Structure 1
Amino acid sequence: MSDWPELRIERDHPTLAILHLASQMMGKIRVAHAPWSNHGWHVALQPRANGFETLPTAAADGRTFTLALDLCTHAIELSVSDDGRDSVPLAQPTIADLHAAFVAMLDRHGLPSSFNAMPSEIDGAAPFADDRAERAYDPDSADRLRRAFARLLPVFDHFRAGFAGKSSPVHLWWGAFDLAVSRFSGKTAPPHPGGMPGLPDRVAREAYSHEVASAGFWAAGAAEAEPFFYSYIYPEPDGYRSAKVAHGRFDETFGEFLLPYAEVRAAADPAAMLGEFLQSAYEAAATSASWDRAALERAPVAP
C-alpha cells in the first residue's frame, strides 16, 4: 500500500476549497503591504512542516508578523515579532465568517488588515465578505493534504537543486492553489496575453516577463477536480507538444504536460516516478527552446 495519501475529490473538495480561500486572504495581505518582488515571489506562501506561511511582513510601528496555514492545528496562525500570537480556526460556518475573524485578529494586534476583497483566479467567486454559502471543514481531509505535501516536497526540492540559473523557491501560489518551482533561461519573453479571472493582466505580464519553464502540483482547491502534477514552458517553442516525457501526457486544453496525482500514488515508487516526470518534462522544454543547458544545469550535490 502506498504511503502517499489518497486525495479523493468527492470527499476532500469542500475542505480544499476552504484552504484555498484561506490561503488567498493570507497572501493578499502581502500583496497590499509588502514591496513588490520580481514575478510576485514575495506573495507566495512558503512550505513548513505543518503547512505554509507568508514571509515576514512589516507593520508601520516597526514590528513584523507572519501568517501560517497550519494543517495540524487547523487554523490560520499569527506570529508577531513582539511575541504576540493568535489564531483563527479554519472551521467556520462560512467564508464570510472566516474573513471577518481573520480581519478582526489582525486588528486586535494593530496590524495591517486591508486587502483586495475579491478572490483571485476562481471563476464565479463571491467577495470573501459576501460568501455566505455553508461550509464544512474536515480535519482529516486537511491532514491528507498535509501528508501529500510532506511526500512530494522533497522531490521538488531535489529537482530545484539541479539548476544553476535563476530559479524560484519551491512555493505555494495561492491564486490557483498550486505548489510550483520555476526555472528561467535568462531570455526575455513576449508579453503574456493575460485573461485570468481576478488577476490583472499587468501582474501576469510581469510574472511571465522572461522565458520560464515551470513545474508544480495543482491541489485543485476551489476547483472540483482531481489533483495533478504539471510542467509547461512560456513561450511555447515549436516541437514541445510532441516531445517524449516520462509518464503523463500533453493536455491540449491546459497547454501543459500533466500527470495525475492518483497515478503517482499508485506507482511502485511514487517519488521516483514524479522525479522522472519533472526532469524529463523540463528537458523537453529546455531542448525545444534551445536553452544553454550546459551553463544552466548542475548536479544536485554539495560542492
Structure 2
Amino acid sequence: MSAAAWPELPWSDWSETADTLHMWTQIVGKTRLALTPLQNHWWNVPLYVTARGLTTSAMDYGDDVLDIEFDFLNHQLLMRLGSGKSQSLALKPKSVAEFYREYFQCLDALGVSVKIWPMPVEVKDPIRFDLDTQHNAYDPEYVHRFWQVLVHAEKVFRAWAPGFLGKVSPAHFFWGSFDFVVTRFSGRPAQPRAGADSIQREAYSHEVISAGFWPGNGGYGAAAFYCYAAPVPPDLSEKNISPAAAKWDNTLGEYVFLYDDVRRQASPEAALLEFFENAYSAAADSAKWDRNTLERKPQEVR
C-alpha cells in the first residue's frame, strides 16, 4: 500500500467524535465483560476489527449467542442473536445518554437482559453513561478513517507475527484505554506492581512487550504507534531504534512512532514493521528474554 492508503487522522479535528465513540465502545465492551468469563489478562473483554468495524464476537446468552458490531461503513450498531433476531441503531450525532437508552431498548427487544456498571473507566472526570449529555459528536468520515487505520495496523501485526513462537495475544481493541494492541509474553511471572489495581494486576501478571496504536486520547493529542515493556528494563530508554523518526518518550516510558511520521515513509507498512521488530528486540534483549526459545530463526519464517 502507498502512504495514501493511511488516511489523515489529526486528533484536533475529531477529538470530540473520538471521545463520544470511546464512551459508546465502553458500553458495548462492558456488555461483553458481563457476558463472558474471565480470561487471562482480560482477553475476554476487548473488541475485534472486522471488515466493517468492531465486534464483540459471539457471546453466550442462555442457549443462544449474541454478537454486537459497530458497522463503520453504514454507521449502524448491529445486535444479532444466533436464533435470527436482530436489532440496530443508527450511529450519528447523539449524546452518550441517548445512545445508552437506545442501546438497552434494542437489547430489551431481543429479550436480552444484561446489567453493566454505568461508569466509564480509564478516563479523567468520568460521567455516568445515562447522564452524559456532554459527549454527543459523531463525524462518520473520521470514524471511517480511524477504522481504516485499525485495519491497516492489523495487517502489519499479522506480518510481524510469524517470527514469534511464545504466547501472544490476538490483536485486541481495548475499549478502556481506546487503543489497539498485540502483546507478547516471555513466559515468566512479573513482580507485582506497587499500587496496582485489579485491572493492572491481571493485565501485568507476567512479563510482556506490547505494540499498538492509539489515536491521541488521554491527553497525548496525536495519533501514534507505540511499543513498551512491562516491567520496564532499567536500560531500555538508552537504546536507539529505527526508523529514525521513532523515539523513546520519557514521559510515557515507551517507544513512540507518531502516526504522521509513519504516513511520511515511502512504505508505511515496512517502516511500521521495522519499528515493531526493533522496539521489541531492544526490549527483549534488555529484559533478558530467552529469544532462542521464543523466536523462529529467520530462515524458518515463511
TM-score by structure 1 length? 0.93
C-alpha change, 1:11 and 1:300, in structure 2 (3 Å) is farther
8 Å CA contact 2:11–2:215 kept in 1: the answer is no
8 Å CA contact 1:219–1:227 kept in 2: the answer is yes
Match of 1:216? 212
8 Å CA contact 1:87–1:105 kept in 2: the answer is yes
Greater displacement, 134-143 / 30-39: 134-143
Match of 1:98? 99
1-side partners of 2:237 and 2:89: how far apart? Answer: 45
How big is the alpha-carbon RMSD for the aligned residues of Structure 1 and Structure 2? 1.8
C-alpha change, 1:239 and 1:223, in structure 2 (3 Å) is closer
Which residue identity does 2:276 align to in structure 1?
L
Could you tell me how far 1:160 is from its partner in structure 2? Answer: 2.4
Which residue identity does 1:166 align to in structure 2?
K
Could you tell me how far 1:92 is from its partner in structure 2? Answer: 4.1
Deviations 1:243-284 (A, max 9, x none): 121131111111111111111011111111111100000001
2-side partners of 1:159 and 1:128: how far apart? Answer: 38
Match of 2:111? 110
C-alpha change, 1:26 and 1:161, in structure 2 (3 Å) is farther
Match of 1:166? 167
1-side partners of 2:91 and 2:120: how far apart? Answer: 17
8 Å CA contact 2:34–2:114 kept in 1: the answer is no
TM-score by structure 2 length? 0.93
Gap regions ≥5 residues in structure 2: none
2-side partners of 1:39 and 1:231: how far apart? Answer: 18
C-alpha change, 1:217 and 1:284, in structure 2 (3 Å) is same
Match of 1:157? 158
Deviations 1:45-77 (A, max 9, x none): 1111111111321113x1110111211121221
Greater displacement, 269-278 / 79-88: 79-88
8 Å CA contact 1:183–1:213 kept in 2: the answer is yes
C-alpha change, 1:220 and 1:103, in structure 2 (3 Å) is farther
1-side partners of 2:195 and 2:142: how far apart? Answer: 33
Task: Give the 3-state SS of the residue equivalent to 1:183 in structure 2.
Answer: strand
Gap regions ≥5 residues in structure 1: 196-200
8 Å CA contact 1:33–1:112 kept in 2: the answer is no
1-side partners of 2:219 and 2:195: how far apart? Answer: 20
